[in-house]
């Protein structure tokens, strides 16, 4: 039986679905170099830092830029992205997320956020859930992005909990790998085919409670 004292959530694709906004902003950016960013290539950007995402796109067109240029275009992309999310509110939360956060808070489970997005603090504020989080680790707070475990390890340290008593919720393979490397329980959000390293995979939080999630985790670990 697992003894869970904390949960750390990724942001994009787990709490909110901002993937469409990111895709639109990167797609527009890629056009500068006559690169057509497909949905398949965009999937590879999940859980990846802004700089590494741009480098991936540039590699599609065999384009090399210096660090100053890369930082410049990353800023332009982020400005475009921020304009797209300017009207975000609580309605953009994925189903049952707020109810689960409230349940965790009510029963004394510590809650953290671990996201590659440097805009994570802004997004949880715009969607009205920032008060649930006792630790927020964004891309601005780490040296090593996912699949390195630093994001989640720093979150656990800030919460004052151990990885072996913490569940990480992630929708990307890089995020799942980061959680497992850090010694956390990893629950995937999405398809089992895409998240093979996860301890269990659920489609989302709809119709699920914390006890229900832990029961699924126990059932799988005890097989």
Tell me the per-residue pLDDT of 64-109, one tens digit each, with 9 for 90 and over. Answer: 999 999 999 999 999 999 999 888 999 999 999 999 999 999 999 9
**CA of 55: how far to CAs of 11, 52, 65, 170, in Å?**
22, 5, 9, 23
- Domain spans, the chain: 6-17+93-221, 19-84
Distance in angstroms (rounded) separating the CA atoms of residues 95 and 81 = 23
Residue pLDDT, tens place only, 25-51: 999 999 999 999 999 999 888 878 899
Query: Distance between CA atoms of 27 and 77, rounded to whole angstroms?
Result: 10
pLDDT value of position 25? 95
Query: E-assigned strands of the chain?
Result: 6-9, 110-114, 135-137, 166-170, 185-189, 200-202
Q: What percentage of the chain reaches a pLDDT higher than 70?
A: 100
Q: Identify whether the C-beta of residue 203 lies closer than 8 Å to the C-beta of residue 193.
A: no
Annotated catalytic residue 10? yes
pLDDT at residue 17 in the model = 86
Q: Give pLDDT, residue 41.
A: 93
Query: Distance (Å, rounded) from C-alpha 103 to C-alpha 142?
Result: 29
The vertex-40 CA angle with 39 and 46, nearest 5°, equals: 85
CATH 3.90.930.12 matches 19-84: no
**Which pLDDT tens digit goes with each residue over 182-204?**
999 999 999 999 899 999 999 99
| SS3 state at 17 | coil
Residue 119, phi then psi, degrees to nearest 5: -95, 5
| 6-17+93-221: CATH superfamily | HAD superfamily/HAD-like (3.40.50.1000)
For 86, the token pair is: 């300017």
Among candidate residues 99, 81, 80, 103, the one with its CA nearest the CA of residue 90: 99
Catalytic residue among 10, 141, 171, 199: 10
pLDDT of residue 130: 98
Hey, what are 10's tokens? 């990724």
What is the residue-averaged pLDDT of the chain?
95
Whether the pLDDT of residue 223 is over 80: the answer is: no
């Amino acid at each position: 039986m697992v003894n869970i004292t904390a949960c750390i959530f990724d942001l994009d694709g787990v709490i909110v679905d901002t993937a469409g906004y990111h895709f639109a902003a990167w797609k527009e950016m890629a056009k500068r170099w006559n690169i057509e960013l497909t949905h398949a290539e965009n999937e590879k950007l999940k859980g990846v830092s802004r700089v590494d995402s741009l480098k991936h796109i540039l590699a599609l067109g065999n384009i090399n830029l210096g660090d100053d240029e890369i930082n410049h275009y990353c800023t332009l992309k982020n400005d475009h992205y921020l304009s797209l999310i300017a009207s975000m509110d609580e309605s953009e939360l994925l189903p049952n997320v707020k109810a689960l956060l409230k349940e965790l808070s009510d029963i004394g489970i510590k809650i953290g956020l671990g996201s590659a997005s440097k805009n994570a603090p802004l997004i949880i504020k715009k969607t009205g859930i920032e008060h649930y989080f006792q630790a927020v680790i964004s891309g601005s707070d780490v040296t090593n992005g996912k699949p390195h475990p630093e994001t989640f390890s720093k979150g656990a340290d800030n919460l004052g909990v151990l990885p072996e008593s913490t569940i990480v919720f992630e929708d990307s393979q890089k995020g799942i790998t980061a959680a497992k490397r850090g010694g956390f329980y990893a629950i995937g959000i999405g398809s089992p085919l895409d998240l093979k390293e996860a301890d269990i995979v659920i489609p989302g939080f709809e119709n699920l409670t914390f006890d229900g999630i832990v029961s699924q985790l126990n059932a799988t670990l005890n097989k």
